[in-house]
C-alpha cells in the first residue's frame, strides 16, 4: 500500500514531462517561422509579378462589378524593405470595374487618421485595366468563372501573358471571371494600362474607407 506521502494527487501536472514534450514542438515551430522569414518556404509561392518593393501597408479596393477576360491565380510573396507578405495573386488580362473605389488610411501625429480615397467609373464608362495584377490577402464577393481549371501547375498558367507562378505551385485559371460586390484587401496592384474615367481623388481627415 502506498503511503500518503507518495500517493498521486489528482489533477497535478507533471511539469517536467510537459516541458520535455513542449521543447521539441517549440523548436519545430521556431524553425518553420525562421524558414518563412528567410524565404526558404517561398518555393510553394512565386515572387509577385509586381516588380516594385511594397510598403507593406494594406489598402482597400471595391467595385460594384468586375468583369474580366483571362484570369489566373496563385500564391506569391510581396517583397517589402523589412519583410515579405504572402498573398494570393490574381491576374486579369482585361478588366472593367464599375464604381471603382480605392482607399488607404494612415495615422499621422497630431492629426490622427487621414484617408486617401480614389473613385472612378461611378457613372458612364467603367474603369478599365489591361494586364491587371492584384496581390490580395482578403477578398469577398459573388464570383462566376467560365472554363476554370483548379489545381493547375502555376508555371503552366497562360491566361495572362507573362504572369505565372513557380513549377509545382498550386494555381488556377479561367477564360472569364465576373465578381459582383467586390471587396478586397491588398498590398499591391499593377497594370499595363489603367484608364480611370471620372477620376475623383480626395484626402480627408478621419476614416473614409471604401467599405
Give the Cα separation of 183 and 104 in Å (integer): 14
pLDDT in tens, 15-29: 444 334 444 333 433
Give 82-123 as a DSSP string. S-EEEEEEEEEEEEEEETEEEEEEEEETTTEEEEEEEEE-SS
Q: What is the pLDDT of residue 66?
A: 98
Average pLDDT over the chain reads 83
pTM: predicted TM-score of the whole model, two decimal places: 0.76
**Domain check: are 34 and 61 in the same one?**
no
pLDDT digits (tens, 9 = 90+) for 97-118: 999 999 999 999 999 999 999 9
Same domain, 99 and 32: no
Query: How would you classify the pairing of strands 59-79 and 46-47?
Result: parallel
Cell of 166: 513557380
Same domain, 142 and 187: yes
Question: Do 122 and 94 reside in the same domain of the chain?
Answer: yes
125 Cβ neighbours under 8 A, 6+ residues apart: 197
* Cβ–Cβ under 8 Å, residues 171 and 66: no
Query: Whole-angstrom Cα distance, residue 35 to residue 40?
Result: 5
Residue 112 lies in a domain: yes
pLDDT > 70 in the chain, percent: 76
Q: Please indicate whether residue 178 or residue 3 has the higher confidence score (pLDDT).
A: 178
- Number of domains making up the chain: 2
Decide if 3 is inside a domain.
no
Q: For residues 89 and 123, state if they share a domain.
A: yes
SS3 (DSSP) at 8: coil
Helix (H) or strand (E) holding 189: strand 170-190
Q: Are 29 and 67 in contact (CB under 8 A)?
A: no
Indicate the helix (H) or strand (E) that contains 33.
helix 15-38
Residue 26, domain member (yes or no)? yes
Amino acid at each position: 500500500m502506498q503511503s500518503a506521502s507518495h500517493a498521486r494527487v489528482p489533477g497535478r501536472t507533471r511539469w517536467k514531462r510537459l516541458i520535455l514534450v513542449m521543447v521539441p514542438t517549440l523548436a519545430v515551430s521556431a524553425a518553420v517561422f525562421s524558414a518563412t522569414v528567410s524565404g526558404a518556404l517561398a518555393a510553394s509561392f512565386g515572387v509577385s509579378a509586381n516588380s516594385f518593393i511594397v510598403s507593406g501597408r494594406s489598402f482597400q479596393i471595391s467595385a460594384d462589378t468586375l468583369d474580366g477576360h483571362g484570369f489566373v491565380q496563385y500564391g506569391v510573396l510581396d517583397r517589402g524593405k523589412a519583410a515579405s507578405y504572402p498573398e494570393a495573386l490574381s491576374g486579369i488580362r482585361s478588366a472593367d470595374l464599375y464604381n471603382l473605389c480605392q482607399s488607404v488610411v494612415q495615422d499621422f501625429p497630431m492629426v490622427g487618421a487621414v484617408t486617401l480615397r480614389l473613385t472612378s467609373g461611378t457613372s458612364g464608362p467603367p474603369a478599365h485595366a489591361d494586364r491587371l495584377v492584384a496581390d490580395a490577402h482578403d477578398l469577398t464577393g459573388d464570383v462566376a468563372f467560365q472554363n476554370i481549371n483548379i489545381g493547375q501547375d502555376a508555371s503552366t498558367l497562360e491566361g495572362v501573358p507573362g504572369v505565372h507562378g513557380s513549377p509545382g505551385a498550386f494555381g488556377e485559371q479561367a477564360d472569364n471571371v465576373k465578381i459582383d460586390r467586390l471587396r478586397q484587401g491588398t498590398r499591391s496592384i499593377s497594370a499595363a494600362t489603367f484608364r480611370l474615367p471620372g477620376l475623383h481623388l480626395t484626402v480627408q481627415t478621419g476614416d473614409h474607407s471604401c467599405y
